[in-house]
Structures are given as structure tokens and as C-alpha cells.
Structure 1
Amino acid sequence: MKKSLKLIFFALVLTLLFAQTASAAEIQQQAGTIETSATSSVDVDPDIVQLNLSVRTEASSAALAQENNSTAVNKAMDLLVGEGLSKDAITTTNYSTYSYTKTDNNTKNEVTVYSSNSSMTVTIKELDKVGEILDKLADISEVNVNSVNYSIQDPAKYKDQVIASAIAAAKQNILSSANALGVTIDKLDSLKIDFNSASNIQPYTRNSVSLSTSATPQPQSPEKITISATADLSYTVQQK
């Protein structure tokens, strides 16, 4: 009798273990997901330009270096306003003055030189004026053009378009994958959107636009701006 009870108990244990294993496998299968990523983009013409300028002056005293720097900045601003830009489109930042020593070429003595530096940011909405403005800035020897940054004033107006397209492409990838695997999608598990509208920056080395050069390196045909969205999408699946 005791032997029969032991056999029955052992059979019950095996049954419970099998049921737990089957249940775990079923839960894991039901919790399965298909993940994918898709990107949609649109190329548009830039409609705004930002010039990053630096103004540097040197003199034998800090006061004179600062005075010369102020004169050069005002000269640049007058030029820009004369080209039809508003003063609101011009900002001056990062003003500094420092000193350093160098050897005078004539006397061979150590002399102290004072340098004043300021930065200017200029926003231009009339792209056809960029080349002419850079040409004229080149006539101010203290002004250097550090970069020309082409961008879009309102990239958000393309946002819905690229996001919707990216999500549609991602979902189509999931449907195709599910069909190939022999499963059906159940419900949305997660969605992550990455929206990007990178600017087209034209860099310039220091002094590349200065000293009245007649060959201003102005890009006449700036590249289009790529506005994109990436959708990371996942759906839970069930077996057919």
C-alpha cells in the first residue's frame, strides 16, 4: 500500500513539474516581440544663413586694442545694416582682452602686445545677399569669417510628414517579418521617435576671408538640408 502511495505521489510531482514547464513556455511565447527600426527623410532648400564672425585687434596698450576693436565692430555693423539687415539680426558676444609678449623684429627686444577679441553672429534670411556681404566683409581686415551655417527657419513643419512615414515603414517591416515567421502581431509594445534637422555648416579657417581678397570662398549653391525621423517600433506577437 505504501509503495502504491509513493508511486501516486511521484506521478503527481511529475505532472505538476510538466504543467509548470508548459506554462512557462507558453508565457514566454505570448510575451515575444518583433522589433524594427525605419528612417524617413526629406531634403529641402535652406532658407536662412548664420554667419559666425570674429573681430581681433592688437595694440601696444589694452585701451587702444579695445578702442580699435570697437571701431572694427561698428564698421562691420554699419556695413551689414547698409545691406538691409536689421540690428536685431546682429549680436556681439564673447568680448575679451589679453596680453602676450613677442620679440620686436627691429629692436629684438621683448614687447607686450594687447589683443582684443569679440564674436559676432549675423542672421541672414535673404540668401542671395550672402555672397555680396562676405565680399564686403573681406574689406575689413580685422574681421574673420569662421563659418557659414545654412539651415531651415521652421523644420517643425516637416516633422509630421517624416514621422508618419517612418512609423509606416517600421510597421510594414514588422508585418513582413511576422508573415515570414508565421505569427500575427498583437499590440504595440514600444515606440521611440528620433527627429533630426541637421544644418549645413560651411567652415572657414581663420583669416580665410580677410584682407580684401578678391576670391571669397562663398558657396554659391549650398547643399540641401536633410530633415529626418527614425522610428524604433516593437509589437508583441501571437502564434497563428
Structure 2
Amino acid sequence: MTNKLSLRVVLVSVALVLLAGAVGSALLPHTGAAAQEKELQGSMNVSGRAVVTGTPDIAYISLGVETRNESAQQAARENAELMTNVMAALKELGLTEADLSTSGYNVYSYQQSNRSDSSAPPITYYVVHNRLDITVKDLDMVGEVIDTAIGAGANQVQSVSFDIQDKQAMQIQALENAVAQARMKGEALARAAGVTLGGIKVITEQNTSYIPYTDTAALRSFAVAEAKTQITPGDVEVSAEVYVEFWF
């Protein structure tokens, strides 16, 4: 009885092995055909670009105090006095220490010929430049801040720029729009070629750039005596570019 049972087990095992081999052989041609179809499947490369604009909610002003004197110490003292007046006047407007920061301090000298006596040695002058960066969260105050600083002693305005404090949402939106444009271009190419657009093979973020809005009106108005500085912030831009390879 035991021998018969063992023989049956062996026969069943052999049958299962043969069946598995037959099934595997039957599947091999189909697997090869699928791989061959994959190899024959084409792909196309397209790019997508999008720009998202937003309304600024913060401004950055860069201005300075420059003094000149034949004495370096005197030039430095005059500069310090003027900058102290500028910062005090800005604080009276409601700005705080956190809104004001020194971004540069330079001292250099140059020589100038004596115009009254050409035979005399040239005169050495020392120039002290103190640069102040100002953060303004109330955009309606930007013009007033510039005028106040100039009235207190600032004699240089380098730049006025507007920004958005949280740009991540704009960056994500720009990327989504760029991918959507790439897909539309891929679909147009597929229709023209008489093929069906498939899935994405490769997608690459090529470039995401941010362009704050800069206004040079402050520089222009500074040259006009008694003129009030008018600042009108424009939109800031975030652009994104992607490259996508689609199957077809």
C-alpha cells in the first residue's frame, strides 16, 4: 500500500513539472512579442514653459550716504552723523531695527590735481560710503521712506525692488503649467503624426527662475528737487521650464 502511494506521488510530481514546462513554453512567445513591441515603441521629446505672476507684498530699498573730505577721519565722522540721522528718521516712520541693515561700508581715496596751482602736488580725498538696506512691508510707505531718508541725509539710492515673501506656491504652479503645456505639445505632435500619445518616459526640470520687480523711479525722482517719490509696484514673475519625453 505504501509503495503504491509513493508511486502516485511521484507520478503527480512528474505531471506537474511537465505541465509547468508546457505553460512556460506557451508564455515565452508572448513575452518576447511584448518585449519586441516595447523595442519598436517610439518616443518624442517636447519642452514646456510657463510664467506665473503675482502681486508683491514686500519691498526692499537700498540707499546710501557718501561723504568726501581731505581727512579720512573727518569723512568718516560726517558719514556716521548723516547715517545716524537717516536711521533715526526712518524709525520715526515706524520701521524697526529688524527692517534696517548695513550691507556695505567702504573707504577709498583718490587724487585730484590742484586747479588753482598746477605746480602744487595733487590733493588726496577720502570717500566714505555707507550702504543701508531697508525692508518695507507696507508698500504704500515706499515713496515716503525714500523721501524721508533723503531728507535726513541719504544722497544715493541704488535700487527699489518688490518681492513676494512666500514664493513656493507660485513655483509649484509654474511647474504644473509647464508640464501641462508640454503634454499639449506632445498631443499635437502625436495627432499630426497619426500616433497615440503614451505615458511619460522621462521628465526633467530644466529651469525655474524668479524675477522680482525693480523700479528705478526713485533714482529719477532723486534728481528732481522737491519732487515726491512715486513708486508703483508691478507684478513679480516666476517661470519654469521642463523637458518631457513621451512614449507613442
Count of residues in correspondence between the two structures: 210
CA distance in 1, matches of 2:141, 2:111: 41
1:150 to 162, 166, 181: 162
Q: In structure 2, what residue type is equivalent to 1:111?
A: I
1:29 Cα offset (Å): 7.4
- Three-state SS of the structure 1 residue aligned to 2:197 is strand
Are the counterparts in 2 of residues 145 and 204 from structure 1 also a CA contact under 8 Å?
Answer: no
1:38 Cα offset (Å): 2.2
Superposition TM-score, scaled by structure 1 size: 0.76
Gaps (5+ residues) in structure 1? 1-25
Q: Which has the higher strand share?
A: 1
Aligned to 2:56: 46
Q: How does 1:178-193 map to 2 (within 5 A)?
A: 178-193=190-205
- Three-state SS of the structure 2 residue aligned to 1:139 is helix
Aligned to 2:227: 215
Q: Which has the higher helix share?
A: 2
Q: Pairwise CA RMSD of aligned residues?
A: 2.7
CA distance in 1, matches of 2:219, 2:172: 40
Q: How does 1:1-240 map to 2 (within 5 A)?
A: 30=40, 32-104=42-114, 109=120, 110-193=122-205, 194-203=207-216, 209=222, 213-219=225-231, 221-237=232-248
1:235 Cα offset (Å): 0.9
Q: Deviations over 1:20-62 (max 9, x none)?
A: xxxxxx8997363212222223322111111111221111211
Are the counterparts in 1 of residues 221 and 227 from structure 2 also a CA contact under 8 Å?
Answer: no
CA distance in 1, matches of 2:186, 2:53: 26
- Report the structure number with the largest CA radius of gyration: 2
1:183 Cα offset (Å): 1.8
1:141 Cα offset (Å): 4.2
Superposition TM-score, scaled by structure 2 size: 0.74
- Sequence identity percentage: 25
Q: Deviations over 1:88-144 (max 9, x none)?
A: 111113212122222455566532211111211111111000111111222244431
Gaps (5+ residues) in structure 2? 1-35
CA distance in 2, matches of 1:200, 1:67: 35
Are the counterparts in 2 of residues 72 and 143 from structure 1 also a CA contact under 8 Å?
Answer: no
